[in-house]
Structures are given as structure tokens and as C-alpha cells.
Chain A
């Protein structure tokens, strides 16, 4: 086993989860310019929905995935209506507090319903694949995670770049008022963006529960990673979110492997602070390029 290659692979797997979350985050931030603090909690809801459908109702995995997507979309719809819509004209702080409140409610309801234990969709040892290059080890679930990250990134890019909905979203992101004078239904676009963003977060949660197991308190850590991944290359950019997520995962694992495992979580804070201090618009200043 080549250690450098294995650490990179571990980083890619963790980074893929961050990337999926960051992509969803970029979408909702892009159209509204407001941070959805319930994004991490939505991810956890996805994990528990997958667990409930597969373990408690014994449904096949593909139906469960559809269920997870729907649950995420529904939650996204509700979060936007409850935590963002009433505060459209208020200072950004209002939406921060209201979405944070929603996140806390979700976390505590999950803890009350499912208990405090960790739920794992695949307890025990997942099937191990040895990749021919450098003898790197990867489980089937991890391969799935990386593939889903690339798939989600590709699909979101297609939706934004090639569909009417996407073009309208870009218009709303650029200037909501101007877009509305052109007949674009601004509130509908914002709603749609939140539904898509949250269903993507829910899928990330489901993948986490396959690989690592999920518990009701994981949301905050997830939100923080999604935010940092976004900040690295500029908040609101889709390619930036994908690259940022992967880079963050790899950085965390390299720091843990070659500096000290004690600094693994701390390095995320360090990255965030450095980028905000030195390049507040992100390393590549992708922020103003909206979704592109």
C-alpha cells in the first residue's frame, strides 16, 4: 500500500461528501445571497430518511434514494418558506437566525425520534476493492461516494447552464428585481433552487450513513465544511464548490497524515481564516461569476 496514494484517496472520499454539500450550498446562496444554516441539518435528515426507508421499511435502495431526494426537496421547500421568505426584505442577520433556529429544531426532533445512537446503513466491514494503481484500498461505498459527487456536479452544471430554469436562476442571482421585470417568477426560482440544493444535501447525508453512520448531531460539522469549501474558491460558484470540497478533504487528510492527527479538524478553521483574511472573494475570485 502506497501511503501517499492512500491518504489522497481517503481525502478524495471525504472531500467528495464536502463537495456534494458545498454544491447544494452554492446553489441556495447563489440565488438568495443568504447563508442557509439549515443545510447541515438537511444533510442529517437525508441520512435518517435513508436509514428509515431501508432498515425500518426494508425498501430497495433505489426507491430509498428517490425517497431521500423527495424528503430533501420537501424540507428545502419548507425551510425557504419558513426561514427565508418572511425575511426577504430584512437584513441578512434575520435569515441567519431563523435558519439556525430551524437547524436546531430539526436536530432536536431527530434526536427525540431516532434517539442519540449512531445509525449505520451498512454495519460491519464493507467490501474492499484494491485499486490496481499503487495498491490503494477503497470500499464499494466509497467508490459510490466519489461517483455521486461527480454526477451531482455534472447534473447541476447541466441544469444551470442548459435549462431555462438554470438561466432564470442565473438572472435572479444577478439581479432579482431586473429578472422579475422580464417576467421571471423570482420566488418560484428561489423555491426551486432551495429544493434542489436541499435534495442534494440529503443525498450527501444518505451516503454518509452508508459509509460512516449518521447521528443527529453531525449537521453543524457538515455545514461548516460546506461553507469552508465554498469560501476557498469564491462563495456561490459551482465548479468552485466541487474543487473546494475535494481540496478541503485532501488537505484535512494530508495534515492528519503528515503533520499531526491533532490538527485535522483545526486545519479547516485555519484554511477558512486564511482565505477570508487574504482572499475574501476566494482564491480564484469565482464569486462574481455566479454559478459558472
Chain B
């Protein structure tokens, strides 16, 4: 089981969280302007990265809030978690594994 650092509550076990998929996918502000391809991109296409991946988590059995995380999908190692609205940390600044080991 992973240990995940909620940016609001701190270190908690994985079972307190639910997964929210890829992060930083903004809902189109004018959906009617989108053609079918662009709409499919928004709804269904995910980068499914092998490596460092920005994703959403929700501390559903804790504070209930969404936040974002950077996790390496080849190791499941979290390099950072950060609050919704904060910019994604630069990968280069994360050389030193920040907080958590799985």
C-alpha cells in the first residue's frame, strides 16, 4: 500500500484516497465551439505516461479535497503532492525525492 501525503492532512495510507486520473485537463470554457475530435480529446484521450505523471487524487476518507500529485508510474514513487490551483512543480527541481516512499 502506498503512503500518500495529502497537502492538507499529511501522510495517510492509500486506502483513504481515491484516484482522479490525469491532472491539468481543463474543461473547455466553450464546449459548443469544440468539434467532435476536440471533444473526444477532452473526454477520452489521456497521455498514460510511463514515467513522471501529473495526476489528481482525492482524500475521500479524510478532508475530502482534491489535490494533484507527481508520481513515477514505473516505480509508483510520489515525487510531490500539491494543492489544486498551484502550478505543477518542475521535474528538474524534484531530483531529491521529496517526501514519501511507497
Same complex: no
